[in-house]
């Protein structure tokens, strides 16, 4: 498990489901995070009925595409020249994409994620990771896609500025990076 430094810079935020999302087996989703230079330590904590969620099983750690199509945690980091999207799967896989503007100019990003331990119990799941921040990182958006066993999806974020779930919306980047 990653150990964040004992520092007053650790922050805790709560994600909320998009109003158009169906009822979710997840009751609450909290994220702890702390910046360490050009790295950001994150711990996503989902609480609720874990047997009712489709969690990706263990996979070979490393970069993989389409992780957001199943239960996945995400971070979006704004820079002066666009933003980087991080997909963090409970499977141990991850992906990073760089964008010039909302959903424009998508390409693999150079920044990597280093998954840590996964804690899973009948009523909670916690995923830790450390992500490399891009140069010029200024603002942060945090989100999650949760797939229920009935096939429905709920979309969680710090802010939902549009009538449909859209984690790429510029107003979703609501936190100033410490």
What are the tokens at 51?
């047997």
Comparing CA positions, the residue from 175, 42, 174, 176 lying closest to residue 117 is 42
- Integer Cα distance of 110 and 134 in angstroms: 9
Contact 98, 87 (CB under 8 A): no
- Domain positions in the chain: 11-176
Overall size of the chain counted in residues: 178
Bridging pattern class, strands 113-121 and 39-48:
unpaired
Bridging pattern class, strands 82-88 and 39-48:
unpaired
- Integer Cα distance of 5 and 48 in angstroms: 28
Q: Identify the pLDDT of residue 84.
A: 98
Q: Identify the pLDDT of residue 7.
A: 58
> What is the CATH number assigned to the segment(s) 11-176?
2.60.40.1190
- Integer Cα distance of 57 and 151 in angstroms: 17
What are the tokens at 124?
């909670």
Handedness of CA 66, 121, 45, 118 (dihedral sign): negative
Q: Identify the pLDDT of residue 16.
A: 98
Contact 111, 87 (CB under 8 A): no
Q: Identify the pLDDT of residue 138.
A: 95
Q: For the chain of 178 residues, list the mean pLDDT of each consecutive stretch of 10.
A: 55 97 97 95 97 93 94 96 97 96 95 90 96 96 98 98 95 92
- Integer Cα distance of 31 and 34 in angstroms: 10
């Amino acid at each position: 498990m990653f150990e964040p430094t004992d520092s007053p810079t650790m922050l805790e935020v709560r994600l909320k489901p998009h109003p158009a999302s169906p009822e979710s087996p997840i009751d609450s989703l909290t994220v702890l995070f702390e910046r360490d230079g050009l790295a950001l330590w994150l711990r996503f904590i989902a609480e609720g009925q874990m047997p009712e969620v489709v969690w990706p099983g263990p996979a070979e750690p490393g970069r993989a595409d389409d992780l957001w199509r199943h239960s996945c945690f995400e971070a979006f980091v704004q820079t002066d020249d666009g933003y980087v999207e991080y997909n963090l799967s409970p499977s141990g896989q991850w992906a990073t994409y760089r964008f010039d503007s909302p959903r424009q100019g998508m390409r693999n990003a150079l920044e990597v994620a280093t998954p840590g331990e996964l804690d899973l119990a009948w009523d909670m799941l916690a995923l830790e990771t450390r992500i490399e921040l891009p140069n010029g990182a200024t603002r942060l958006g945090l989100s999650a896609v949760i797939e229920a066993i009935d096939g429905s999806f709920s979309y969680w974020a710090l802010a939902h500025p549009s009538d449909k779930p859209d984690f790429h919306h510029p107003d979703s980047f609501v936190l100033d990076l410490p």
